[in-house]
Amino acid sequence: GQNIDQPTEMTATEGAIVQINCTYQTSGFNGLFWYQQHAGEAPTFLSYNVLDGLEEKGRFSSFLSRSKGYSYLLLKELQMKDSASYLCAVREIPSGSARQLTFGSGTQLTVLP
């Protein structure tokens, strides 16, 4: 089984930088995903890490440390539209074509003007 922890809520100011942490425990790690989800809408893919280090994609970056079971999502130059829930999801080593994800409970980010 897996255990994924992330903070429930965070608040930040427009234009600032925010870091959302995620810790996980898994028996066979095979990748970590970050998704953004606005209320009542579908999760949308933000980033993927399978090796240690930083992946940068515009205003969003994601970091992974497999030895520590730790990842973070960094959002720069925050905009009001970034107010959403951010979901950390872990994939275990697949068995055949099994590829299911286990999601954390999500971090609700509120961006204030």
Partner 1 sequence: DSGVTQTPKHLITATGQRVTLRCSPRSGDLSVYWYQQSLDQGLQFLIQYYNGEERAKGNILERFSAQQFPDLHSELNLSSLELGDSALYFCASSVVTGESTDTQYFGPGTRLTVL
Chain positions contacting partner 1, by CB under 8 A: 30-31, 33, 35, 40-45, 48, 50, 87, 89, 95-106
For the CB of residue 17, give the shortest distance to partner 1 in the complex, in Å. 25
Q: Using the minimum distance from each CB to partner 1, give the nearer residue, 15 or 94.
A: 94
- Alpha-carbon distances of 96 from 8, 20, 92, 93, 99, rounded to whole Å: 34, 32, 12, 9, 9
Which positions ≥6 away from 62 have C-beta within 8 Å?
32, 34, 46, 47, 48, 49, 54, 55, 71, 72, 73, 74
Q: Using the minimum distance from each CB to partner 1, give the nearer residue, 62 or 78.
A: 62
Q: Using the minimum distance from each CB to partner 1, give the nearer residue, 42 or 113.
A: 42
For the CB of residue 84, give the shortest distance to partner 1 in the complex, in Å. 14
User: Could you tell me the two tokens for 66?
Assistant: 């497999």
For the CB of residue 19, give the shortest distance to partner 1 in the complex, in Å. 20
